[in-house]
A and B are shown apart, each in its own frame.
Chain A
Amino acid sequence: MPSALTSLGGAPPAPNPVPQPPAQPQASALAGGAPQAPPSQLQIPPAPDHQQTVAALRHFDAIENALVALLKDPAVGKSDLRSSAIDQMTKLVARGIMTPATAVTQLSDFPDKPFDQKMWLQGHLQQTIQGATMVLAHHQAAFAGQDVDTTPPSPDDHQNAISGLISMYKGNGQNA
């Protein structure tokens, strides 16, 4: 099963509409006299707009449903659920939530031992719930009280929307 936050480039930062001052640079950077990046390059990523937020909710919700379905299996923690996990992953790929390449990558991370599988599923469920809440909080922090474009995004364009969101958050990871 996929790591919801990993597939989105890691957990989004805590919502904060006011850009924080850059963190203290590393001592090695100071010692080397390397030119420091201007503060503008250390900003938090742009907040997801309405369409990206909807796409993220769709993404997290689909993954949460798959994880909950596996966790509700009476055999969880006792028997190997790899085949069930593959089934759930196949459904996600069929719905266009995930690309086949991502699915293979995520399945390779699925543990072999039943107990580890249960812990893995629980941990990813936790991340999924947190991820959806954080994206909503990030969207709220940036757009609260504003007149935003609420045109519903097409589910057929889910992959593009998620790719844009991943690029946005990964871009932050590279700059910060």
Chain B
Amino acid sequence: MPDPNPLQGLYPQPQQQQSSLLANPVGTVSSILQLQQLQRALAAKQAVGQAFQGAIGPDGNFDPNAAFAGIKVSPAAAWGAPEAIGSILDYRGKNIANATAQLGLGLTNNEGAARITAPYAALGRPLTQEEQYNLKAQLAAAGINPATVQAADLNGSIKAAKAATLGAIQTMGPAAAATPVTGAPQPGTGAPTQVPLSSTIGAGARVTGTPPGTEVSATAMQNDLLREANYGQEIYPLKAALSSLQALGPGGIGPGTEGRNKFESFLNTIAPSLAQYLPGFDPTKIKNYDEFTKYVTQATQQRAASMGGAHTDAQLATTLTGSPNNKINDLAAEDVLKANIALRNMQRVQTLEAAQAGPVGYTAKASTFAGTQDPRAYLVPYLSPA
């Protein structure tokens, strides 16, 4: 059907009625609710954003724990908390990666941390969970940020530190990397060593001095070895005294024998031809008695001298009391002589064995040796046949 009035379009048309609040009340309420939700969502996003922003530290690292705390205390963030916490889990993963990289850099630049990590890195395999817990506790005690230590994957950190070390070596060039520097002294001997510079990068502080106590240990070893140089001179009087005592036989020495021997020696000196007719007189015994006395006195003097330092009357008296002499029973004197010889031999073995550990470990080795040996074993060569 054709338009009845083609010119109608040229006339002004009445204005269409604008949609008002009353035109569609249901749609209006829905729009208001949507607007409110949008506003709440925007406020929540802003609050969550502020919490996240406050969780970024001065060093630029994100702390998810601080973000959690910020969301918890902000009422506006409650609307978006579930989604935000879901994001925090993602950030937690990223934070682990950041902490791992940060700790790896710290292991390269922090000597204390590098020294702690070096034994673990030298294992050449991924650390077990238990090893990681141990290392984390040690790194925290070394002053590394606990949050970083807690979040970091230590296997990744060690790998990053090794990569940084390798990069440093490559940067310095092969010639500089091979430059010899002072290394750790040889264990035991304490002899100085040299290592290439590349091996010291990322390994923390280098131990170039000798361990504590080395000087004392070395001095003790030298003194003991000097004494062993005189072993023959020390042991001869003891063995000679033992031989003389055994030659004297039962009752050869003891209380009163000194006067008798002096009397017999006097007679033998002034009238040897007459003395031989006296009952019980034996010139050989006079000789053995005097030799015994001479050698035990010599041995006692050497014992006193071996004590070193300034001697006192009390020290000498103690040495005399503890040494065999002609005033004690012959049976006791023989046992004491044998014990002295055995102990001296044990001391010699101890010195020579401990000296093999070198000056650094001499005292430690000597102290260990003494506890593992039975002095009675050194008496065996001097025991009488059963």
Q: Could you tell me if B92 and A129 are in contact, using CB atoms closer than 8 angstroms?
A: yes
A26–B184 Cα distance when bound, in Å, is: 61
For A137, give the chain B residue with the smallest CB separation.
B146
Q: Could you tell me if B150 and A139 are in contact, using CB atoms closer than 8 angstroms?
A: no
The listed residue (A58, A115, A140) touching B140 by CB distance below 8 A is A140
A107 at interface (Cβ–Cβ under 8 A)? no
Q: Could you tell me if B141 and A139 are in contact, using CB atoms closer than 8 angstroms?
A: yes
A115–B137 Cα distance when bound, in Å, is: 36
A150–B85 Cα distance when bound, in Å, is: 37
- Contact A54 B150, CB 8 Å, known A71-B89, A126-B68: no
Q: Could you tell me if A136 and B138 are in contact, using CB atoms closer than 8 angstroms?
A: no
B25 at interface (Cβ–Cβ under 8 A)? no
For B92, give the chain A residue with the smallest CB separation.
A129
Give min CB distance, A48 to chain B, whole Å.
9
The listed residue (A71, A136, A148) touching B146 by CB distance below 8 A is A136
A74 at interface (Cβ–Cβ under 8 A)? no
* Residue tally, chain B, CB below 8 Å to A: 24
Query: What is the predominant secondary structure among interface residues of chain A facing chain B?
Result: helix
What are the 8 closest A-B residue pairs judged by CB atoms, nearest first?
Answer: A136-B146, A137-B146, A53-B137, A57-B133, A136-B140, A140-B140, A126-B68, A54-B133
Give min CB distance, A131 to chain B, whole Å.
10
A164 at interface (Cβ–Cβ under 8 A)? no
Q: B residues within 8 Å of A by Cβ?
A: 64-65, 68, 82, 85, 89, 92, 129-131, 133-134, 136-138, 140-143, 146-147, 149-151
- Contact A152 B130, CB 8 Å, known A133-B150, A136-B149: yes
The listed residue (B64, B82, B137, B150) touching A50 by CB distance below 8 A is B137
A71–B136 Cα distance when bound, in Å, is: 25
Q: Could you tell me if A145 and B143 are in contact, using CB atoms closer than 8 angstroms?
A: yes
Residues of A within 8 A of B82 (CB): 77, 115, 118-119
Q: Could you tell me if A152 and B85 are in contact, using CB atoms closer than 8 angstroms?
A: no
A122 at interface (Cβ–Cβ under 8 A)? yes
Residues of A within 8 A of B150 (CB): 57, 129, 132-133, 136
- Contact A58 B146, CB 8 Å, known A118-B82, A126-B68, A143-B141: no
A174 at interface (Cβ–Cβ under 8 A)? no
Residues of B within 8 A of A43 (CB): none
Q: Could you tell me if A136 and B137 are in contact, using CB atoms closer than 8 angstroms?
A: yes
A46 at interface (Cβ–Cβ under 8 A)? no
In chain A between 46 and 90, which residues have their CB closer than 8 angstroms to a CB of chain B? 50, 53-54, 57-58, 61, 68, 71, 77
Residues of B within 8 A of A132 (CB): 150
Residues of A within 8 A of B151 (CB): 129
